[in-house]
Structure 1
Amino acid sequence: MDVLDDLGYQGASPFKHGIASGDPLQDRVILWTRITNDGSISATSIPVGYTIATDPEMKKIVAQGRALATSESDFTIKVDPKSLQPNTTYYYTFQALGYISPTGRTRTIPQPNLPANQVDRVRLAVVSCSNYGFGYFNGYAHIAKQADISAVLHLGDYIYEYQEGFYRDQSLIEERPIDPKNEIISLEDYRRRYACYRTDIDLQECHRQHPFIAVWDDHEIADNSWKGGAGFHTESKGSYIERKMSAVRAYHEWMPIRDDSSNELDSQLRIYRRFEFGKLFDLNMLDTRIFGREKLDATASNEPERQLLGVEQENWLHLNMLAGKRRDAKWQILGQQVILAPFRGASATNSGDIWNGYASARDRLLNFIENNNIDNTVVLTGDYHASFAFDVCKNPFDGDSYNPSTGSGSLAVEFVCPALTSLAFPEKGAGPEANPHQKFNNQTDHGYMLLDITEQAFQCEWYYTNTLKTRDDSTRFAKSLLTQAQANHLIEGEQSRPITNVAVLAAANKAVGVKI
């Protein structure tokens, strides 16, 4: 590629917020960056080039292109190069203002018709609840080092909206200050908060090495959000709808997510989407937060038409699960935000926030799974700042409906991800003594989940970081549970071994932008 016009820029590397990739398909993947002008030039648009290669030295080039980073999108840019090969690792760089970006690494997914027994083991990392003020992102750092991870699933609360000094580790306020200092409400506020988070070196490295598949939860907008309001949004803060749409716009600008190509007014709100990893599994990423959720009200939980997903998204999910069954996808994965399984605890029993507060919606989903004989459904959950695992059944508290020893009566399984850094809230009465379908309970540690998926079994492992106070990428293995194909319930597992013979990580000495 010819060198682009540097517009006379004389500043430092404009790739201050790193690079990222996301939403991989069999023939394309989103590539993202942000161009930061230090003020040495005045420009409302900046030319950007990108290069994709099959080798980390960027010699075997397969695609190149150009685009414009504009003030309209906060100088973020996303490109979606097509005609890539399935199930292939690629390396990429951007070029702008006389600099080459760090080298990134990404991967496409297998073609949809590839039989499950021909898809290699797939390993996915799962994260949620990453609060910058509560400590260092050591979980991201550990994930970044693992070359055999195909993608990172982020189940929401990628950022937090609170003002400085509230809901954070006060001892780290000098080391990890947040920007802006106020509670974020305007578009500019949300943009600045994403920019603050994306200066974190370990988050940047995780994005540099792996594609992300992400959905929002509530804190990307406001605490306890629903489609028409939020528990922590008051009239004094202005219009909730304007705030929500500002948050949504900033999310699409700053996250490597594929935008809805329709021209419908609510297209940016429609982030539920599906990924077909060959016939090994379908990944259905859901929005249980702001697309269809009705107001939080536990007393209304059993109203027949109570909505959590909303009619449109619920129908979409049902149709896609049926399509997955018809095409013989081995596993159906639901990536979503809040605990699905019936769950008892001091807060959980009458919670209006989790699926307990939308029991009729949960009944519709479980009845659909049962009536259509859909086996091998795995639910992935964030939000709760705790590690849990459940057999998912209609009434786990009735011995005639569910047998905790054999798993009889279970229709699916659910794995709940710990917070990466956000404060844990240990809850009384939330253990297996009150929940016979609960197979794992850790309400104190921080970290992430690692999924190891084969045609025969779907395994989840929990890894915990040793500290949040300093940068330290060491972790400890805590637990492994799995469900065997057609079993629909959990059993004990052993720690899996990494996949060998995988493409190398992007080089450490290519982690910063350099002058051309």
Structure 2
Amino acid sequence: MKNFLLLIVLSLYLHSSFAQNLLQPELEAFYNPALRPFYFGVASGDPQPHSVVIWTKIVPENLGLQQIHWEVATDTLLQNVVQSGTGEADSSSAFTLKLVVENLEAGTHYFYRFQHEGRYSPIGRTKTAPEGEVPLLRFAVVSCANFPSGYFNAFGDLARRNDIDAVLHLGDYIYEYGSGGPRKKKKNFSRPHIPNHEILTLQDYRTRYGQYRLDPQLMEAHRLLPFIVIWDDHELANNSNVSGAQNHDPNSEGSWEQRKAIARQVYFEWLPVHDNPQRSIIRSFRYGGLAELWMLDGRLEGRSPQAKGTGDPALPSASRHMLGEKQTEWLLDGMKNSTARWKIMGNQVIFSPLNDSKVFSRDPSIRMDRWDGYPAERSEIFDFFYKNNLRNIIVVTGDVHTSWAFELTGDPLNPSKYNRKTGMGVTGAEFVTPSVSSFNFDEVVPKFVTWEAKRRFCKKKNNPHLRFLDLNHHGYMTLTLTPERAQADWFFVKTLYEVDYRFKQKGGRYIEYDGNQVKKNKKR
């Protein structure tokens, strides 16, 4: 009996130690018992015409290899099951099951769930990409969701919509900081990070993703909508590049290569992105004849270290890259050979030239993380567009926490290359989504400063190609595509400090097919 009790105690101890090695125990207080063992819900992503990725993660009661059954159906009650099977999950992925469901019909809603030891997950909904002639597509575009900054009301609102084909998440899915970052603190509001220090280890990164995925609004958005995701910098560390980051000190935080490897591994554990040996996020999606989408990696694939400022002699060098030669060639060849009406670049940081000298004149290094910090590679891309007469290009962007619309042109301050009135030199449009919750202008400076910043940004002599700007609101953007036009609309939350579904729609900027001007949508 003594040995038997000792074995039980030892087993419980090992289970506890093992669980703590995967995720920090502070998360357990936020588990919903009704979801056991699927506390983190379900998700889908990377929709193709005949396949989609489905995802779940369990917290098992024992430490061995786990069998998880899955099924996909065409109806909400899962009576008409069209695909099913059993997958395995183990500790190497923190008990993640992610698989590609194939042989599906194009442009079709499907419903799916998982089962483990007699317990069922919530039922998820997803949608495959369409084929052939497509009359309308609508993507939601999001980025920059910082947990301590406020509730994820943008995700909550998206989960309530039935008109979204897919969510394009352009990065900063999590933040690596221990605190919430540089913003004004709201009295009596607290949503601290777990763990409460900057994340560095495998357990740290897994726990941080776990905290975000326990958020009910984000969980529901993942349950009901397929996501197409890329990382930006905060999935690793602020202002990342191939060889380092502004927020990584190798002397006190260890190897950058090890941190990158951990961040990549955990990203692929938690996100419904197609697995590949390289753990690369570079991929493309075709939505019939209407659109083709290229999702880019502007961080870890080829990015050179950021220049030190506008006076850095290395700034204009052709040897400095944002994407790298291989990725740039893949993108440009794909765009040149595409027969889709709209060609969409899913991109992390502002692509368009932006004259911010009248706003950030004291800190010119602030623009070095944007494409303005890599002018030679951007010029190469624009030159390719012009040489090959590529039009109808839409760039969607995150990172900057604010909302913008630009006419896509390579040299907006050169009157021989761009004309605001006639649209000469315009190849498409760039639309920038606001942050879900991360700080924006009026949360770090007084409102009158943001008003003045907006006035200076919008002066035609500074940025003649800028057609819409909002510096103060959080939310998300939609990109609606028809054969005739591409339109961006911005949806701004009323508050971040309580769960709230009051939104206001702003913006409404569009460009017509083969058009060369971004116009304001007239209210009907």
Encode CA deviations 1:358-402: one digit per residue, 9 max, x unaligned.
000110000011111111000001000110111121211122321
Bigger Cα displacement from structure 2, 118-127 vs 459-468: 118-127
Show the counterpart of 2:324.
Answer: 310
Q: State how far apart, in whole Å, the 1-side matches of 2:368 and 2:180 are.
A: 27
Structure-2 change in CA distance of 1:216 and 1:286 (3 Å): same
For 1:68, the aligned partner's letter is E
| Aligned partner of 2:208 among 193, 196, 201 | 193
Equivalent position to 1:70, from 90, 107, 117: 90
| Matched AA of 1:451 | L
**The one of 55, 65, 90 aligned to 1:45:** 65
2:9 matched residue in structure 1: none
Structure with greater helix percent: 2
The equivalent position to 2:49 in structure 1, one of 19, 22, 26, is 26
Partners of 1:107 and 1:184 in 2: how far apart? Answer: 34
Once the two structures are TM-superposed, the CA of residue 172 in structure 1 deviates from its matched residue by 7.7
Q: Which residue is 2:396 aligned to?
A: 380
Aligned: 1:130 with 2:153:
no
Deviation at 1:290, TM superposition (A): 1.7
CA contact (8 A) 1:89 1:107 kept: yes
Counterpart CA distance in 1 for 2:468 and 2:413 is 17
1:467 matched residue in structure 2: 495
Partner of 1:121: 136
Taking the aligned partners of 2:51 and 2:205, their CA distance within structure 1 comes to: 28
Shift of 1:199: 0.5
- Give 1:291-306 correspondences, 5 Å limit: 291-297=301-307, 298=309, 299=312, 300-306=314-320
Taking a change above 3 Å as real, the CA distance of residues 322 and 189 of structure 1, as seen in their structure-2 partners, is same
- Could you tell me how far 1:240 is from its partner in structure 2? 0.7
For 1:440, the aligned partner's letter is F
Distance 1:171-1:44 versus aligned 2 partners, 3 A rule: farther
Q: Which residue identity is paired with 2:248?
A: H
- Aligned partner of 1:347 in structure 2 is 360
CA 1:211–1:292: 2 relative to 1, 3 Å: same
Q: What is the rounded CA distance, in whole Å, between the counterparts of 1:275 and 1:124 in structure 2?
A: 13
1:51-90 maps to which residues of 2 (within 5 A)? 51-90=71-110
**Whole-Å separation in 1 of the counterparts to 2:159 and 2:135:** 20
C-alpha spacing 1:165/1:140, structure 2 compared with 1 (3 Å): closer
1:356 corresponding residue in structure 2: 372
The aligned counterpart of 1:230 is 245
Cα distance in 2 between the residues matched to 1:22 and 1:125: 13
Q: Higher Cα Rg: structure 1 or 2?
A: 2
- Mapped partners of 2:459, 2:289: distance in 1: 34
- Aligned CA RMSD, in angstroms, stands at 1.8
Per-residue Cα deviation, 1:435-483 (whole angstroms, up to 9, x for no partner): 1110001000001101110111111101100000000022111110111
Q: What's the offset of the Cα at 1:407?
A: 1.8
Question: Equivalents in 1 of 2:182, 2:399: separation in Å?
Answer: 15
Structure 2 residue aligned with 1:280: 290
1:108 aligned partner = 128
Alpha-carbon distance in structure 2 between the residues aligned to 1:168 and 1:197:
19
Question: What's the CA shift for 1:409?
Answer: 1.6
Find the counterpart in structure 1 of residue 457 from structure 2. 430
| Alignment partner of 2:119 out of 94, 99, 108 | 99
The 2-side partners of 1:122 and 1:46 are apart by: 39
Instruction: Give 1:186 shift.
Output: 1.0
Identity of aligned residues (%): 39
Task: State whether residues 189 and 497 of structure 2, in contact with CA within 8 Å, keep that contact through their aligned partners in structure 1.
Answer: no
Superposition TM-score, scaled by structure 1 size: 0.88
* Offset, 1:76: 1.3
Q: Residues 322 and 374 of structure 2 are in contact (CA less than 8 Å); yes or no, is this contact kept in structure 1?
A: yes
Is the 1:301–1:356 contact (alpha carbons within 8 Å) kept by the matching residues of 2? no
Structure 1 stretch 177-186 or stretch 414-423: which is displaced more?
177-186
Kindly provide the CA deviation profile for residues 393-419 of structure 1, in whole angstroms up to 9, marking residues without a partner as x. 121112232111232221221001111
- String of CA shifts for 1:126-157, please: whole Å, max 9, x gaps: 00001111000001111111111100000000
Cα distance, 1:167 vs. partner?
4.1
Structure 1 residues 167 and 35: alpha-carbon distance in aligned structure 2, compared to 1, 3 A threshold: farther
C-alpha distance in 2 between matches for 1:432 and 1:65: 59
Instruction: Give the match for residue 139 of structure 1.
Output: 154
User: TM-score scaled by structure 2?
Assistant: 0.87
Do the aligned partners of 1:133 and 1:173 also contact (CA within 8 Å) in 2?
Answer: no
2: CA distance, partners of 1:64 / 1:465:
39
In structure 2, relative to structure 1, the CA distance for the partners of 1:319 and 1:68 (3 Å cut) is same
Matched ranges for 1:189-268 at <5 A:
189-235=204-250, 236-260=252-276, 263=277, 267-268=278-279
Unaligned runs of 5+ in 1: 1-8, 497-516
CA distance, structure 2, for counterparts of residue 171 and residue 71 of structure 1: 39
Deviation at 1:347, TM superposition (A): 3.5
Contact 1:165 1:173 survives alignment (8 Å): no
SS, match of residue 344 in structure 2: strand
Q: Which residue of 2 aligns with 1:421?
A: 437
Q: What residue is the counterpart of 1:6 in the other structure?
A: none
Aligned pair 1:178/2:178, yes or no? no
Q: Is the 8 A contact 2:146 2:437 kept in 1?
A: yes
What is the DSSP-based 3-state SS (H/G/I as helix, E as strand, rest coil) of the residue aligned with 1:24? strand
Between the aligned partners of 1:252 and 1:457, the Cα distance in structure 2 is 35
Opposite residue 308 of structure 1, the aligned amino acid is: M
Query: Counterpart of 1:106 in structure 2: which amino acid?
Result: T
Distance across 2 between alignment mates of 1:315 and 1:341: 19
CA distance in 1, matches of 2:204, 2:176: 9
Q: In structure 2, which of residues 160, 166, 174 is the aligned counterpart of residue 151 of structure 1? A: 166
SS at match of 1:80: strand
Query: Is 1:481–1:494's contact at 8 Å kept on the other side of the alignment?
Result: no
Q: Which runs of 5+ in 2 are unaligned?
A: 1-14, 16-32, 443-449
**Superposition deviation, residue 79 in structure 1:** 1.2
Residue in structure 2 matched with residue 403 of structure 1 by the alignment: 419
Offset at residue 488 of structure 1 (A): 3.5
395-404 vs 451-460, which moves further: 395-404
| Deviation at residue 166 of structure 1 after TM alignment | 4.3
Aligned to 2:485: 457
